[in-house]
Amino acid sequence: MSTTYINARIFSGDQVHQRGSITVENGGITEIRDSIEAPARTENFNHSKVIDLKGFSIAPAFIDLQVYGGNGKLFNNEPTVEAIQKTWESVKKGGASHFQITLSCSPLETMWQAIDACRKYLGAGGKGLLGLHLEGPYFNPEKRGAHPLQHIRKPNPAEVAELIERCRGVVRYMTVAPEQFDDISLDLLLKSDILIAAGHSNATFKQAVRGFEKGIDRVTHLFNAMSPFQGREPGLVGAAYDRKPWTSIIADGIHCDFNALKISKELLGDKLFLISDAVTESLMGDYRFRFAGDRYVDESGVLAGSALSMWDAVKNTVQYAGIPLDEALRMAATYPARVIGEGQRLGKIAPGYEAHFVVFNENMELQEGWEMTGG
């Protein structure tokens, strides 16, 4: 049976349809029309469902490429199928249909457990998971942030080769400090199927540019845990501005000022995308995070992660950084889909794309009760 959503303001990812309809069948979008009414044709119209969105806005559901847990289950401390499921339930409430569960710097044994948990979740038909984002363990200790020093490792070719083999089909994304690598280890990673991002790095501008020239084409949470832009040494931030790789940013006004977000958008354009960087409270294990009103901190009070949902990030981007709504929505859906290599099936409302939606009103309030996935 097909479902047609009518009388909607549609943010397709390419353009804005002020009043239109979307037809979905078998979980895929088959038609989008500039019309308030359902399509007049259809021999099997009696077998179709029509939903009137009453002028609400509809946009592609979001894709969160960096989230560490949800609903009291922090994946760092509990690398389990249950933690992934709890995270899925959490990100869905914030408008995301897909996510990468993220593992912070951990012992190798924990990394293998996390990979196995993702493989089991996917094998059992678990929803939403695009794969595992390994944030570390190959970081610069000087830019470790809330990551325990004892879990940061120096890469070597043998270990990197083992990691790549174990990661197959599960790990799609990895954040590393490029200046910590020997050429052989970095080349192994860059020749693998894993998408590599620079982060938790104290690289000089020259070192960062060299990493980009070798093939690193992503940057993790701009400004945070990285060498800053300075007049005499532009650092990793300056290298990102210059070379314009895909670059994620946390739009909570805490991890970076909203003016920094605005300036970065002007410089990076469609290469800047939103992540939540969200954690959840967990007072056990190596990562003991507590909620501190509008953020999460570790036992020393160091900023450990955000309390954002992707919808919060979109609203903040519009309200405080002055970025147009249609572009903010692309930063949460269309661009992350491209970053992860899923731009042909996710992140847009167009024929041939999967039907994953968010619905919201003129006050930027998500409308609960609408199915996120049509069809």
Supply the CATH number for residue 221's domain. Answer: 3.20.20.140
Same domain for 17 and 119, yes or no, is: no
Helix (H) / strand (E) element for 219: namely strand 218-219
Distance CA 91, CA 258 (A): 23
Q: 309 and 94 in contact (C-beta within 8 Å)?
A: yes
- Residue range 4-8: mean pLDDT, rounded: 94
Q: Is residue 373 part of a domain?
A: no
Same domain for 134 and 146, yes or no, is: yes
Burial state string for 17-43 with b = 16 or more CB within 10 A and e = fewer than 16:
bebbbbbbbeeebbebbeeeebbeeee
Same domain for 12 and 103, yes or no, is: no
Q: Which residues contact 149 (CB under 8 A, 6 or more apart)?
A: 141
Q: 79 and 98 in contact (C-beta within 8 Å)?
A: no
Which tokens go with 55?
A: 């002028």
Q: CA dihedral defined by 62, 67, 70, 76, rounded to 10 degrees?
A: 160
Strand order in the sheet with 96-103: 62-67, 96-103, 129-135, 171-176, 195-198, 218-219, 246-250, 272-275
Same domain for 212 and 263, yes or no, is: yes
Same domain for 300 and 194, yes or no, is: yes
Q: Is residue 185 part of a domain?
A: yes
Same domain for 35 and 124, yes or no, is: no
Task: Note the pTM of the prediction, 2 decimals.
Answer: 0.95
Same domain for 183 and 41, yes or no, is: no
Q: Which residues contact 76 (CB under 8 A, 6 or more apart)?
A: 68, 69, 103, 104, 106, 110, 282, 285, 286, 287
Domain coverage including residue 8: 2-60+348-360
pLDDT of residue 38: 59
Same domain for 142 and 260, yes or no, is: yes
- Residue range 362-371: mean pLDDT, rounded: 80
- Please report which residue ranges of 94-249 form alpha helices under DSSP H: 108-123, 157-167, 183-191, 205-214, 235-243
CATH assignment at residue 35? 2.30.40.10
Domain count, the chain: 2
pLDDT of residue 355: 96
Q: What is the DSSP string of 73-115?
A: EETTT--SHHHHHHHHHHHHHTTEEEEEEEE-S--HHHHHHHH
pLDDT of residue 167: 94
pLDDT of residue 309: 96
Which tokens go with 176?
A: 């590393």
Q: Is residue 119 part of a domain?
A: yes
Q: What values do phi and psi take at 47, rounded to 5?
A: -100, 10
Distance CA 346, CA 341 (A): 9
Which tokens go with 186?
A: 């970095």
Distance CA 340, CA 277 (A): 16
Q: Is residue 294 part of a domain?
A: yes
Same domain for 47 and 66, yes or no, is: no
The position carrying tokens 């940013």 is 249
Q: Is residue 74 part of a domain?
A: yes
Neighbours of 284 (CB within 10 A): 9
Q: Is residue 241 part of a domain?
A: yes
Q: What is the pLDDT of residues 213-229, one digit of tens each?
A: 999 999 999 999 999 99
From 217, 252, 277, 298, active-site residue: 277
Same domain for 261 and 277, yes or no, is: yes
Q: What is the pLDDT of residues 49-74, one digit of tens each?
A: 899 999 999 999 999 999 999 999 99
Neighbours of 168 (CB within 10 A): 12
- Residue range 257-286: mean pLDDT, rounded: 95
Q: Does pLDDT of 34 surpass 70?
A: yes
Distance of CA 158 to the CA centre of its chain: 30
Q: Is residue 374 part of a domain?
A: no
Share of the chain above pLDDT 90, in %: 87
Active site residue 277: yes
Distance CA 99, CA 128 (A): 6
Same domain for 90 and 122, yes or no, is: yes
Same domain for 217 and 324, yes or no, is: yes
